[in-house]
Every structure is written in C-alpha cells, then in structure tokens.
Structure 1
Amino acid sequence: MSKKGILLVNLGTPDSPATADVRRYLDQFLMDERVIDIPKLNRTLLVKGIIVPFRSPKTAKLYKEIWNEDGSPLLFYSRVQAKMLQERLGDEYHVELAMRYQNPSIASALANLKAGLVESIQVIPMFPQYASASTGSVMQLVMELVSKWPTVPPISFINSFHDNELMIKVFAENARKHHVESYDHVLFSFHGLPERQLLKCDHTGSYCLKNADCCQTLNDTNKFCYSAQGHDTARLIAQELNLSKDQYTVCFQSRLGKEPWVQPYTTDVLKKLAAEGKKRLLVFSPAFVADCLETLYEITVEYHEEFKALGGEHVQLVESLNDSPVFIEALAGMVK
C-alpha cells in the first residue's frame, strides 16, 4: 500500500555540547542566507571571522548546562513527537524527522521518504509563527533538494499554525499547572528577529513599523508577519486563560548585533516590571514546540537571575508542547 510522507522539521541542535560540534552547528545556521540576510561576502566575514570563533566556546558551555542523559532536549522531544505522530497516524503514513541544521538532515529524511516510495510529501516546519529565517528556510531547502529528483512527488507545506486551537490549549493548560493567578505579570517572550526581516515581509512597503500598533492585529498586509502572528498567539493564549491586556506583555529575546531587532526586548521588559514592583513573572515562549536552549537556559536561568538582580523574586517558564498528546492531535489535524 502506498503511503503518504510526512516530514517534520525543527531548527537544529549540535551533535554534542563539545565546542567543535557547536562550531559546526553555528557555522551552518548563521551562514544561511535567510538567517543573516546580508551579502554573502559580508556574511562570511562576519560569521566565520567573528561570530563563530568567539561565540562557539561560550555557547558550548550553555549547551552543557541543559544537556542530559537523553542528549539535546530539542532533539529528544522532536524524536518523541515524530514517534507519537507516526503511532497516531498509522500505517497509511510514513513520518520522518529532520533538523534544518545538523542532524538528522533534511536531505537524509527526504531520502528515506523517497526510498519508502511515498505517494506525496507534506512538510511541517515546527515553527508556529512564520518567519523567512525559519519556515521560509526549510521550504527553500526542501524545494531545492526535491527539484533535483527525476520524479517530483506532490509536495505541500504548512506555512504556520500560530492560531491552532489545540496548541493554544496545551500552552494554557501548562500554565495552569503553575497557578497563573499567583503571578504578578505574564510574559510571552518570542525569539527575536532583525526589524529588516519584518520590513521585507511587507510587500506594500508602507505598513510595517509605520506605527507602534502595526502588529497588534492580523490583516491582509501583515498576515505572514512573524511579529503579528506572535501577537495573535499570545492573544489567544491570554484569552484562553482569561487574562486582560494589562496582565501580559509580548516581548522578544535572543538579539545578535547592534542593529534594531523586533521590540520590546525581553530584558527591557524585565527592567520595567521590576521598577514597577512586580516580583513573580510567568513566561511563555510560544515560538518553540519543544524546550531548548532558549527556554531551558535563557529564560529559566539568565532571565531569572537578571530579574532577581533587579529586585524581583522569581521567573517561571511555562513548559513547551514537548510530549503532549494534545499537540500530537494538533499535528494529526494539520495532516488530515
């Protein structure tokens, strides 16, 4: 019986927390023309001459803090999600997992689907909100690789699932475990992007960043905007938890370089809330479907310590979707 191929793709992780493996990961990641979208010569000089040599040892130390007996948490949970989805979908489907950077590679996963004689391939980039640097990069590489096949099967892509009802319910339920009402404020901290990448998504050239509220609601102009989709995700989770607008803030973490990135920055929001006397913060990171370095270390450790130094008491991470059966139902719904 012919099967339908499903390709789940997450961002990636080093093969180990060793500096050499982290260096290879960062090199492949940051040399992607969609991640650092500047001319190739400038990107090469910046990445290979400055960022990777200096950042690799520091990043390796951070990975060692979150690495456990199962290895990389991101890869571990991604494998669990792929296994659970395969079991949920049954024998009519062939599910493969890939990472955009490092292993298992997209090329190897596509080769497995090809060898499995699938009749079609559906690609699900595991990023709830669309961004050129994540979902767009996955789409581009898949199309480049498959375009070289003598026979190209029907291929489809999930562009985003920022408003998926079941995903929203999982995030909300994870928050309830921490007794949301016991916190002074809630943060929705998304991974950051340079502002120039948002501007490129505005095909009109006259809407993006022209006013402070351009991302607050989705419309035809910003429907593919990462920030606007992020605000929509936050609004839906807040609605599920009955949070008013003054009870939560949308912000962005993980900047690189000196040019403007999407704002407000999470670090600035922490300072503002501490100055207002807030003591306990509950933090979502809804750009990720599995806990990783950005959640397990940047939020749980760095932001917690930073907030305490400012006079706060506690920063609590809301766990990601990880091995939630309800999230697997959400994926199955996208497939079917």
Structure 2
Amino acid sequence: MLGKTGVLIVNLGTPDTPNVPDVKKYLREFLMDGRVIDIPYANRWLLINLIIAPFRSPKSAKVYKELWTEKGSPLKIYGEANEKQLQEALGNDYVVKLAMRYQNPSIEKGLKELQLMGLSKIIVVPFFPQYASASTGSVYEEVMRIIGQWQIIPQLKFVNYFYNHPKFIKAFADNGRKYLDKGNYDYVVFSYHGLPERQMTKADCTGNTCKLGSCCDTIHAFNQHCYRASCYETTRLLVKELGLKEGTYTTSFQSRLGKEPWIQPYTDHVVKELAQKGVKRVLAYSPAFVADCLETTIEVAEEYREMFEEHGGEHWQLVESLNDSAPWIDLLTDLVKEQEH
C-alpha cells in the first residue's frame, strides 16, 4: 500500500430509515452541531431536544417516506455509487471511502479504515460546492477532531470549494440545457440552501466587509469564503454559461428554520411573486446540492411547484443534480488530482 492516497468523500447525511426514531436521531445529531445552530450549548440542547426534534421528527419522517426508494435514501445511494465510480476513475493508486457528516457511514469509520491501510496522504472532499461553516467547516472540524487523536498524522488535504470550477458549471448548465432547448421557459430560479444572516456576519473576519448586499457582487480576498457571495457568483457563472438575458433569472434561498432573518430573498416568496406577476414557466436550479435529496426532490420539485401553480403559474421544472453522472465523476477526479500538486 506504500505510496497510495486515501480519498474521503463526504456528504451531509441521511437517517438510517424514514421511521420517526431514526429521523429524530438524525435531526438531533445534525442540529446539535454548534456550527449548524450556533447558539450557546445549553440553549441549543433545550431547543433541539425539547422542541425541534420531538415535534419535527414525525413531520420529517412523512417527507422522508415520500423520498425513500426500495434501495434506501437517494443521498446514500448516490454516495455509494460515487465511491465506486471514483475508485474506478482514480485507479489503484487511490483508496476511496464514502462518509456522511451525520449518521452512517460515519467520518470516524471512514478515517479508521484509511488509517489501517498505512496511507501517507488523505484527501478530504466535502460534497458542498460553496464553502459554509455549517457544512464544509463542520466536516473539517470533525476530521481534525478524529485525526488529532492519532499518534501518526498523515499529510492531510481538503477541497475547500468548487462552485467556480469550469466542469462544475458546465455539468449543471448542461443538465438544464435539455429543458431550455425543449421548453419555452419565462424565467430561471437559482435556489440555494439558506443560512442565518448572523452566520454571514460572524464569518466576516474584518468586521466591516459583510453588508448582506452589494458586497457579494464580486468575489475578492475578503469574501472568497462567504457562502452568500459564493452562491451569487455561482449564479453569475451559470448565467454566463447558459447565455441567459438580464431580467430572466434570480438567486434565492430556501429551507429556513426559525423566526430570525436568514439570507434573502426567500425562495417561497420568489415563487409566489413570479406567479402573481404572470410568469408561467419556470426552470429551477439547486446548485448547492450535488445529489438530489429532500431539499431538491421534495422541497424544490414538489412543494414549490404546487405553490407556483396555486398562485397562477403553469409549469415548474427542477433541474436534476449531478448525482452519479459521468461529468460529476470527471469533476471529482480533477478535484482529487489537483490536491496532489
């Protein structure tokens, strides 16, 4: 095994089953992460264990049952396929392991398997195109917590983000082109997972860069890791690749939790406003997700479609994520090999 490189690919996670106890277990682990809900531990514990997990688990379990397939959770199915595909693409000089930040297969299990192979280098690839403390940052923290306990620490490299990688932009754009070429769409919505506004301002180490406004109009040294700025840049790159006209698209944010302000505009508000303004046919992208999951298949594809039609819209179409496509594996291969330099 001398000279081989370990590759840990990591996605967010999924319950083991769509049953209430497993969904509750998943929600508790996920939401108790201090990078996800960044409030004092005692307050977070009370909020999650006494309010959110008990009351939200039954509702979430119903949605997960809609999403579930005979083979299990789509997110895990795609992850397992990616593990096999990437291993084949990289060849015998690499060992690829799949992990989830929350639940199974765990990061700890994946790293332990790599540790026992005597590898000299480990490359960690979080499956999050845009960096955020609550996603990529959390993966980093967990990996370092585990490896920090090892007596022998191998060379460790992380893929920080890839939203601006040409192959990422082309792959997502190509997924949407087949709809744009066949359908007469009035508008394109680029919907990203939301985050609390406070997490944007907390991430501003200068204390005066983040204004939650035009500060995200370009990418520069002081906002290169800003999630909001990265999302807007992703949209700009996709718009350029697709050749969309100004006034025919927008960026919005979904999946907010609680009453405090999250990044705006909110996708559900945008959906209603577009329909009420007379927009009839919308193509929806979710470029924060590389694998279709609850937030894309259910929230964007179904819930927003129903909302759009209820307010006068006629057709709402989700562009599928990269999933287990050849362009995604090609991109992953590049991301890994770029870390070898």
Aligned AA for 2:112?
Answer: A
Q: Retained in 2: the 8 A contact 1:170–1:324? A: no
Aligned AA for 2:311?
Answer: L
Aligned AA for 2:242?
Answer: L
Aligned AA for 1:69?
Answer: E
Q: What's the secondary structure of 2:157's corresponding residue?
A: strand
Q: What's the secondary structure of 2:247's corresponding residue?
A: helix
Distance (Å, rounded) in 2 between the aligned partners of 1:54 and 1:209: 35
Deviations 1:155-180 (A, max 9, x none): 01111111011111111111012125
Q: What's the secondary structure of 1:221's corresponding residue?
A: coil
Distance (Å, rounded) in 2 between the aligned partners of 1:216 and 1:73: 34
Q: Aligned pair 1:326/2:317, yes or no?
A: no
1:198 is matched with 200
1:289 is matched with 290
Q: What's the secondary structure of 2:131's corresponding residue?
A: coil
Q: Aligned pair 1:257/2:258, yes or no?
A: yes
Shift of the alpha carbon at 1:145?
0.3
1:185 is matched with 187
Distance (Å, rounded) in 2 between the aligned partners of 1:177 and 1:19: 38
TM-score under structure 2 length normalisation: 0.97
2:12 is matched with 11
Shift of the alpha carbon at 1:245?
2.8
Aligned AA for 1:95?
Answer: V
- Deviation above 6 Å: which 4+ runs of structure 1? none
Q: What's the secondary structure of 1:9's corresponding residue?
A: strand
1:105 is matched with 106
2:275 is matched with 274
Distance (Å, rounded) in 2 between the aligned partners of 1:245 and 1:45: 46
Deviations 1:52-104 (A, max 9, x none): 00000000000000101121011111111111110000000000000000000
Distance (Å, rounded) in 2 between the aligned partners of 1:72 and 1:165: 29
Q: What's the secondary structure of 1:177's corresponding residue?
A: helix
Structure 1 spans left out of the alignment, 5+ residues? none
Shift of the alpha carbon at 1:289?
0.6
TM-score under structure 1 length normalisation: 0.98
1:86 is matched with 87
1:36 is matched with 37
- TM alignment of 1:54-203, pairs within 5 A: 54-179=55-180, 182-203=184-205
Distance (Å, rounded) in 1 between the aligned partners of 2:151 and 2:221: 37
Distance (Å, rounded) in 1 between the aligned partners of 2:282 and 2:308: 9
Aligned AA for 1:112?
Answer: E
Shift of the alpha carbon at 1:221?
1.5
Deviations 1:256-281 (A, max 9, x none): 00000000000111122112100111
Distance (Å, rounded) in 1 between the aligned partners of 2:265 and 2:217: 13
Q: Retained in 2: the 8 A contact 1:6–1:121? A: yes
* Number of equivalent positions: 335
CA RMSD of aligned residues (A): 1.0
Q: Aligned pair 1:242/2:243, yes or no?
A: yes
Distance (Å, rounded) in 2 between the aligned partners of 1:247 and 1:176: 15
Shift of the alpha carbon at 1:209?
2.0
Aligned-residue identity in percent: 56
1:313 is matched with 314
